[in-house]
Amino acid sequence: MTITKDMCIGDILDMDRETAPYFLEMGMHCLGCPASRGETIAEACMVHGTDADALVEKLNAHFAQKD
């Protein structure tokens, strides 16, 4: 599986709850709220002023370790 910036955060969390710390690290502390779960990585990173490409890289590395 490959994570992209266009994927919804809620979908990624549903695939693997262990990804939550990556979102918390970028300042997204309300992972349970419906609005945040429906945001894409790109949207969340724009709002929080973080690098979407860096987050995608971390998430893909996380999932690569699980294979």
pLDDT of residue 67: 72
- pLDDT band for 26, please (50, 70, 90 cuts): confident
Mean of all residue pLDDT scores within the chain: 92
In the block, residue with structure tokens 């709002």: 47
- pLDDT band for 6, please (50, 70, 90 cuts): very high
User: What is the value of pTM for the model shown?
Assistant: 0.91
3-state secondary structure of 8: strand
Residues 6 or more apart in contact with residue 6 via CB below 8 angstroms? 40, 41, 42
- pLDDT band for 33, please (50, 70, 90 cuts): confident
DSSP string of 29-66?
A: --TTSHHHHTSBHHHHHHHHT--HHHHHHHHHHHHHHH
